[in-house]
A and B are shown apart, each in its own frame.
Chain A
Amino acid sequence: MEGVMSHESDLNLKATELRLGLPGTEESTAKNNKRASPELVDDGELFKLESDAKAGDRETAPASKAQIVGWPPVRSYWKNNVHPKKTEAETGNYVKVSMDGAPYLRKIDLKIYMGYSELFKALENMFKLTIGEYSEREGYKGSDYAPAYEDKDGDLMLVGDVPWEMFMSSCKRLRIMKGSEATGLGCGA
């Protein structure tokens, strides 16, 4: 029977270890070099654990770990749900920014700002305006402009009331309001 492992003899597993690498390469090459769809050999002998299967018989493969399709057997549905933060980090959190009176809107990625002050600096640069001092009681003093945003429920909210992280996740779009409308938002109702 081809390919039977003989247990009685001393198992020199190093010699039979499946490695895709040049002969003589050391342990430091990545252990798992299986390719996504193994090249099928004519007589079907895919995995020989006999002692004559040398590393040199195989093609070289990149040193980095090649992932096997469907291994380990975790569902992609589950994978995406446990660590989706990764994909968020890749795509960014872009929101539209409109300014009253401006002919077209802009888009910014909220993820690149560490907090409100950085955001305001960026907005001030982008629209050539000043935003003013934030205070809980009076909103934005010292300027004609106040930054507002539309949250998940569709309500227009003054920027700055909630912690930055909470703002980032609930902000759907930004609106820079001007004039009397703007001051109206800030006054105690």
Chain B
Amino acid sequence: MAYSFPEEVLEYVFAFLSSDKDRNAVSLVCKSWYEIERWCRRRIFIGNCYAVSPQIVIRRFPKVRAVKIKGKPHFADFNLVPEGWGAYLYPWISAMARSYPWLEEIKLKRMVVTDESLELISKSFKNFKVLVLSSCEGFTTDGLASIAANCRNLRELDLRESEVEDLSGHWLSHFPDNFTSLVSLNMSCLGSEVSFSALERLVSRCPNLKTLRLNRAVPVEKLPSLLRRAPQLVEFGTGAYSAEIQTDIFSNLVEAFSGCKHLKSLSGFWDVVPAYLPAMYNVCSRITSLNLSYATVQSPDLVELISQCPNLKCLWVLDYIEDAGLKALSSYCKDLQELRVFPSDPYGAEPNVSLTEQGLVTVSAGCPKLQSVLYFCRQMSNAALIAIARNRPNFIRFRLCIIEPQAPDYLTLEPLDTGFGAIVENCKELRRLSLSGLLTDRVFEYIGTHAKKLEMLSIAFAGDSDLGLHHVLSGCESLRKLEIRDCPFGHKALLANAAKLETMRSLWMSSCSVSYGACKLLGQKMPRLNVEVIDERGSPNSRPETCPVEKLYVYRTVAGPRVDKPDFVWTMDEDAALRLS
């Protein structure tokens, strides 16, 4: 009996599926479901821009409205990926400009974006609404001017942490006078001053503005004028938060902040003068997110501010907070879910602040909802890690950076294997882990045995042998991203677990011991992986096959070897791969 639901009904039902996993599952049911689903998929997430090509995406999903694309590997953040490696946006935009005229959203991370791309975006998509450029680079403020001038329905322009060549602040003045649709503007990464009157007028005429993150060049005395024009703001980032102490500036600030009854998130605070912090106290009781990672303020002032924020869920702060400040945090902020503590003096040989493992132990004990941590410190012990693991079995993300590479347990001088072992054993929902300190193969045994939900693992200066890597690759069932630097891992574990690499998004290994010969072998064995050798010393063919490569980046792909490689990148067994595709 040829009985089937009308397509329209199925399409209507599928529209309620927002998760990619669910949509992918639905596509596998039968051919007709595959067809229906692909025509109604509106949002695409591409975790690695080289895993697929624009043509393949467009061919399968012809009616996409929102794309999110990630480019360079995470270690690019720490200058480990040479300039010119890739992740260019332009080919995507040029393909989508032809095929997705109704594209509304583009969200990018670690991609190279040119002014040309920005101009093409601004002119190709008539209903363009959202542009988020996270840790991107390659464009100037001229590109922003095109977006401002041409995107009549723009809602979000978020440049978070991108490196923009700042030619002038003039771009902001390109928003037309009749442009009123802005909901979110994050220009905190820009250096130049924008015309303040243009900014004031923009804020005044956009009644739906909820997020405004200013850049450092906006002085504190100008903030009240903006806040008064946007009392509906939910997220606000100040500029430089310093000025000569003048009572009228202070009282204006107090009044302006008081008018913002919906503020939940604060950031900015460059050059902060502590005396101006109390101006915000009136809004602190509603604040759930506080980014003080630029605020070079001492612990007592930080504590005073934090003590006003009982509803705090997310805190990013410098290690000036010290153990004492973290103790206060743990007693005032019982709702805390995420904590990041950054090093104020990362390259100093000696500690400049009194922040130790104790701060993290205290917060893990006092904050029952804490689930995500990034912590830089200079000493750690197994005892502390064990205590932390027992206090907080609900960790989802645990990233610990002990500043000195291979630093042992400072009390016992042992490796920190058992400490991190306790973390993975107790925190059964752990999805992301970054290791540091002195670690042997044993820690990887613990991780392979217990970290079954782990999706991303970062390793540096750790392990003794391939056995360590083998534990991870064979044991971590949910592993998607593995990034390794300066570890004594060779090819044995890689080749023995080659199939595992097809179940992961990517593997990065730099300053390890994987030989060129092994890379070639891996490339031959696994045609659906791109095995990229990155080596700035010249062609690996000019050295013996046993010579280790500088950097190795392996990722699964349906697009074959990439065609935009620079001269320091080689794809292993490119010929064979091309023949097979």
A contacts, CB < 8 Å to B: 1-5, 7, 11, 13, 18, 30-32, 34, 37-38, 40, 42-49, 65, 67-79, 81-82, 152-153, 163, 165-166
> Across the interface, do A2 and B408 meet the contact criterion of CB distance under 8 Å?
no
Interface flags for B53-75 (1: CB within 8 Å of A; 0: not) read 00000000000000000000001
B contacts, CB < 8 Å to A: 75, 77-80, 135, 161, 163, 189, 193, 196, 216, 243-244, 270, 293-294, 296, 318, 342-344, 346-347, 349, 376, 401, 403-406, 408, 413-415, 434, 440-442, 460-461, 464-467, 485-488, 490, 511-515, 544, 546-548, 550
Please list 25 pairs of residues, one from A and one from B, whose beta carbons are closer than 8 Å in the complex, sorted by A's number. Answer: A1-B467, A3-B464, A4-B465, A7-B414, A7-B440, A30-B349, A32-B404, A42-B544, A44-B490, A45-B513, A46-B511, A46-B548, A68-B486, A70-B485, A72-B346, A72-B401, A73-B77, A73-B460, A74-B342, A74-B343, A74-B346, A75-B78, A81-B294, A82-B318, A82-B342
B243 surroundings in chain A (CB, below 8 A): 166
**Chain B at the A interface: SS class:** loop
B488 surroundings in chain A (CB, below 8 A): 3, 44-48
B401 surroundings in chain A (CB, below 8 A): 72-73
B461 surroundings in chain A (CB, below 8 A): 47
Cα distance A165–B77 in the bound complex, in angstroms: 35
Cα distance A32–B406 in the bound complex, in angstroms: 10
Shortest C-beta distance, B113 to chain A (Å), equals 15
> Across the interface, do B347 and A67 meet the contact criterion of CB distance under 8 Å?
yes
Q: For chains A and B in complex, what number of residue pairs have CB atoms within 8 angstroms?
A: 128
> Across the interface, do B465 and A1 meet the contact criterion of CB distance under 8 Å?
yes
User: Which one of B75, B294, B318 lies within 8 Å of A70 (CB-CB)?
Assistant: B75
B465 surroundings in chain A (CB, below 8 A): 1-4
> Across the interface, do A82 and B513 meet the contact criterion of CB distance under 8 Å?
no
Shortest C-beta distance, B239 to chain A (Å), equals 12
> Across the interface, do B344 and A11 meet the contact criterion of CB distance under 8 Å?
no
Shortest C-beta distance, A167 to chain B (Å), equals 11
Cα distance A57–B372 in the bound complex, in angstroms: 42
Cα distance A48–B270 in the bound complex, in angstroms: 44
Nearest opposing residue in chain B for A6, CB measure: B440
A34 surroundings in chain B (CB, below 8 A): 405
Nearest opposing residue in chain A for B376, CB measure: A72
Shortest C-beta distance, B166 to chain A (Å), equals 12
User: Which one of B294, B296, B406, B513 lies within 8 Å of A44 (CB-CB)?
Assistant: B513
User: Which one of A40, A49, A79 lies within 8 Å of B346 (CB-CB)?
Assistant: A79
B548 surroundings in chain A (CB, below 8 A): 40, 44, 46
Cα distance A32–B403 in the bound complex, in angstroms: 11
Cα distance A103–B515 in the bound complex, in angstroms: 67
B487 surroundings in chain A (CB, below 8 A): 47
Cα distance A47–B405 in the bound complex, in angstroms: 12
B466 surroundings in chain A (CB, below 8 A): 1
The residue among B78, B193, B460, B467 with the most chain A CB atoms within 10 A of its own CB is: B78
B78 surroundings in chain A (CB, below 8 A): 69-71, 73-75
A153 surroundings in chain B (CB, below 8 A): 196
Cα distance A46–B490 in the bound complex, in angstroms: 10
Cα distance A82–B550 in the bound complex, in angstroms: 31
A82 surroundings in chain B (CB, below 8 A): 293-294, 296, 318, 342, 344
Known: A69-B80, A77-B135. A152 touches B193 (CB 8 A): yes
Known: A70-B75, A74-B346, A78-B342. A42 touches B546 (CB 8 A): yes
> Across the interface, do A166 and B244 meet the contact criterion of CB distance under 8 Å?
yes
> Across the interface, do A72 and B403 meet the contact criterion of CB distance under 8 Å?
yes
A77 surroundings in chain B (CB, below 8 A): 135, 161, 163, 189
Cα distance A163–B245 in the bound complex, in angstroms: 11
> Across the interface, do B77 and A4 meet the contact criterion of CB distance under 8 Å?
no
Shortest C-beta distance, A85 to chain B (Å), equals 8
A18 surroundings in chain B (CB, below 8 A): 406
> Across the interface, do B347 and A37 meet the contact criterion of CB distance under 8 Å?
no
Known: A77-B161, A82-B293. A70 touches B80 (CB 8 A): yes
Cα distance A73–B546 in the bound complex, in angstroms: 30
> Across the interface, do A46 and B441 meet the contact criterion of CB distance under 8 Å?
no
> Across the interface, do B464 and A5 meet the contact criterion of CB distance under 8 Å?
yes
Cα distance A4–B440 in the bound complex, in angstroms: 8
| 9 closest A-B pairs by CB | A44-B513, A70-B78, A3-B464, A5-B440, A70-B80, A73-B78, A3-B465, A72-B346, A44-B548
